[in-house]
Amino acid sequence: MSEPSPFAGPGPDAEYRRLLAEGRFCIQRCRESGRYVFQPRVLSPFTGEPTLDWVEVSGRGTVYSTTVIRRRPEQGSDYNLVLVDLDEGCRLMSRVEKLQPSEVRIGLKVKARIARDKDDAPIVVFDPAESA
């Protein structure tokens, strides 16, 4: 039996979402460099080869930057949007819940939680670490 091709079947994008739907927040790690990478992809940017494995991550991170997206009252309330640096060393866009949008500060320690978006798809959001 030969090894299955790393390029066959559903790809990393589908796998990320499948794992999230199972309640597992996983990120790819390059087995050569040990470095984590997000977004999910086929080739490791560190080796140029398909050397990426899925690893369930701690979900702990730090707010790298934050903004409040203002809306006119008839459009709904203002909301927060952040970039979070995971402790594992990669960054993703998300939002911080359980705080007022303007209370979210750069440097805030946060913890991931799997929530559902408006289409009921699983997405990663964050809560302040102390309240998690």
Q: Is 131 in the site for another protein (CB under 8 A)?
A: no
Measured CA to CA, the distance from residue 25 to residue 87 in angstroms comes to: 13
Task: Give the range of 2-10, 23-31, 53-61, 86-94 binding another protein by CB under 8 A.
Answer: 86-94
Q: Which is nearer to another protein, 2 or 118 (CB)?
A: 118
Q: How far is CA 90 from CA 48, 60, 79, in A?
A: 18, 11, 24
Binding region for another protein (CB under 8 A) out of 1-9, 21-29, 48-56, 100-108:
100-108
The one among 93, 100, 103, 131 contacting another protein by CB under 8 A = 93
In a 10 Å sphere around its CB, with 0-12 CB exposed, 13-18 middle and 19+ buried, how is residue 52 labelled?
A: buried
